[in-house]
Every structure is written in C-alpha cells, then in structure tokens.
C-alpha cells in the first residue's frame, strides 16, 4: 500500500481542488488603474459621428495609437461602417448610452436586456465574439455605484468610469482643450473621457496625440491594460 502513496496523494490533491466551490459572480466597477507603465487610456463616448469620428480615427491611425470607443446603442446600425473600421484598426468597442435616458432612469432588467441586444449587434457587425464587448461607460458622467453594481451582476458587463473628464462639452478652443483641460492633469494610468460627437474634439485630436507623444505616453485600450498582471484596476 505504501508504494501507492506517492501516486495517490497528487490525485487526491487535484480532486480536492476540483471540488472547491466556484467564485460567485462579482460586480466590476473600474474607476482607476495602478499603472505599471507610461500609458494612458483615451476613451470616446456616445458616438460614432459621421463627420468627427473618421477624423479622430485618422489621427489615431497616423500616430499608431489605440483608443476605446463607447458606442451609443441607437447609433449602432446606422454607423456600422465606422464601427467595423474601429474594430479592424485595433480599437476597443464598448457601450455607452442605450437611449436618451440616463442609466438611473432605466429599470435594471430593461437595461441589462438592451445591453445584451446592443452587444449582439456589435458582434454581428464586427465579427468579434460577444465577450469582446465587455466594458460599459455610463453616459453623462453619472455616478450611481449601487445601480452599477446591480447592472454589472445582471449583465456580466464591467462598468468603466473616468479619472479625467476633458470637458470638451464646454466648447473650448481645440488648443485650450489640449493645453488647459488635459495635459496639465494627465498622468500614467489615466482614463480620459472625450466625446467623438463634438467638432472641437476632432479638431484637437492630432494636437493631443502629438503632445502625448512628447510625454512618451503610450495609448492603450481598457481591455489591454486590464490584461496586464501588474495593473490592477481599482
């Protein structure tokens, strides 16, 4: 019997590990990153826009940068070409607004169902698996953490908030947007919120990317950074 122990013990240990209960579903709300490198995450929300989004995509392509685009659910079908381009050029696609309401105004069951429907549309357009559309950005800077925890658990989505709102919606000149609203505050691990629906953001895109390059910043997507073992989201 004793000679069998060296064989049986590893098998018993493996069996005990397999019998451990699986972790319960956890809500995920990502608001900041502990940076492990000189990178930031530029995000755009509530687009695409037929005129401004292509300008931004051109600038990102010219600089060989990647960003995360949080798409408005009601714009998916009408802007399928731009969404397909985003995916082909290596950008991440998430979901922002579902309709004209804030998330707090939408019942949880309805919101979870609509997020699933938009995810299916995005998957059909891009040819990517539904799991690639993991991240959701609540619109208009709203912060309702209890609501987000409930939605995250129901939908399986991770809620991504921002650390730096560029306030492009205030309508500053492009130079002011970059030199006053973003660059003095940007630092490694920052999640910057911009709107690709605005003309000023499109005009500022090349200047912003130039300035970030001077600071030796690398632009990555939310999914890329979350895949790094040393960059734990908070």
CATH number, domain with residue 120: 3.20.20.370
Quick one: pLDDT at residue 47?
97
> Dmax of the chain from CA atoms?
82
Whether the predicted pLDDT of 165 surpasses 80: yes
Q: Is residue 12 a part of any domain in this protein?
A: no
Q: Is residue 88 a part of any domain in this protein?
A: yes
Whether the predicted pLDDT of 232 surpasses 70: no
Q: Is residue 232 a part of any domain in this protein?
A: no
Distance, CA of 64 to CA of 218 (rounded, Å):
10
| Pair of tokens at residue 97 | 């607004």
Whether the predicted pLDDT of 7 surpasses 80: no
Q: Is residue 9 a part of any domain in this protein?
A: no
Q: Is residue 8 a part of any domain in this protein?
A: no
Closest CA to 196 of 158, 219, 166, 173: 166
Number of domains in the chain: 1
Quick one: pLDDT at residue 173?
97
pLDDT confidence band for 35 (50 / 70 / 90) = confident
When computed from its CA atoms, the radius of gyration of the chain, rounded to whole angstroms, is: 21
Quick one: pLDDT at residue 31?
78
Q: Is 85 exposed, middle or buried (0-12, 13-18, 19+ CB in 10 A)?
A: middle
Distance, CA of 122 to CA of 73 (rounded, Å):
9
The model scores a pTM over 0.95: no
Query: Residue 112 belongs to what domain range?
Result: 26-226
**Rounded to an integer, what is the distance from CA 172 to the centroid of its chain?**
25
Distance, CA of 86 to CA of 123 (rounded, Å):
13
Q: Is residue 21 a part of any domain in this protein?
A: no
Query: What average pLDDT score do residues 56-76 get?
Result: 98
Antiparallel, parallel or unpaired: β 92-95 and 39-47: unpaired
């Amino acid at each position: 019997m004793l000679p069998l122990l060296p064989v049986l013990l590893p098998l018993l240990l493996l069996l005990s590990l397999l019998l451990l209960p699986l972790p319960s579903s956890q809500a995920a709300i990502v608001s900041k990153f502990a940076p492990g490198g000189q990178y930031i995450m530029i995000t755009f929300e509530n687009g695409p826009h037929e005129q401004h989004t292509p300008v931004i995509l051109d600038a990102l392509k010219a600089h060989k940068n990647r960003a995360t685009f949080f798409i408005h659910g009601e714009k998916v079908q009408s802007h399928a070409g731009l969404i397909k381009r985003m995916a082909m050029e290596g950008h991440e696609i998430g979901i922002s607004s579902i309709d004209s309401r804030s998330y707090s105004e939408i019942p949880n069951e309805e919101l979870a169902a609509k997020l699933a429907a938009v995810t299916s549309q995005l998957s059909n357009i891009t040819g990517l698996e539904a799991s690639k559309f993991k991240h959701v950005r609540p619109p208009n800077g709203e912060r309702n953490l209890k609501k987000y925890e409930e939605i995250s658990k129901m939908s399986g989505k991770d809620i991504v908030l921002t650390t730096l709102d560029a306030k492009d919606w205030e309508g500053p000149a492009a130079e002011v947007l970059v030199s006053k609203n973003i660059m003095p505050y940007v630092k490694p691990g920052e999640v910057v919120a911009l709107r690709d629906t605005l003309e000023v953001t499109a005009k500022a895109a090349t200047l912003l990317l130039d300035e970030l390059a001077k600071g030796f910043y690398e632009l990555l997507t939310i999914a890329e950074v979350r895949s790094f073992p040393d960059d734990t989201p908070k």
